[in-house]
Amino acid sequence: MKKSSFALGRLTDIRYNLPLMEIVEKAEEKVLILIVTGEIDLNQSPTLRAILRDKAKEKTPHLLLDFAQVAYIDSSGLATLIEYYQSARAYSGKFAICSLTSRVRSSFDLMRLSEVFSIFPDQATAQKSLTGGAA
């Protein structure tokens, strides 16, 4: 979607991007971190599901999802996380989520998933917990 506007005496383009999901992977101190940006909905959750299935097949020992930039998650996204959680438990993998926005946190709370998943306020605290360090 594109919108034009008049700014400083000349015509400029302002681009509005539809919220898509982006995932950046990085490894830090024995923890694989997936930094997720955008919305996790019916259209985007298959991408996350495929990545998490690969991590389960690889038997990733410590996985952290950073949701600081996730604006929204629907039931298909939550189901994707539950699926990974069950897969990781099968091989004793550790899994955590950090930096939930209040909107996303309310979805977890509504479904009582904050009682199931390990949820932390930030990456550092989550990493310490996943690797057995003092939080």
SS in 3 state form for 45-65? HHHHHHHHHHHHHCCCCEEEE
Per-chain mean pLDDT for the chain: 86
Q: Mean pLDDT over residues 15-39, rounded?
A: 82
Nearest partner of 55 among 88, 29, 26, judged by Cα: 88
Dump pLDDT digits (tens) for 42-72: 999 999 999 999 999 999 999 999 999 999 9
Distance set, CA 133 to CA 30, 61, 84, 124 (Å): 12, 15, 24, 10
pLDDT at 74 over 70: yes
Binned at pLDDT 50, 70 and 90, residue 20 comes out as confident
Q: What amino acid occupies position 66?
A: D
Angle between helices 75-90 and 45-57 (to 10 degrees): 0
Nearest partner of 126 among 70, 82, 49, 65, judged by Cα: 65
pLDDT confidence of residue 19: 58
Is the backbone of residue 134 left (phi > 0), alpha (psi -120 to 50) or beta? beta
Structural domains in the chain, sorted by start: 19-131 (3.30.750.24)
Dump pLDDT digits (tens) for 92-118: 999 999 999 999 999 999 999 999 999
- The CB-side HSE value for 88 (13 A sphere, CA atoms) comes to 19
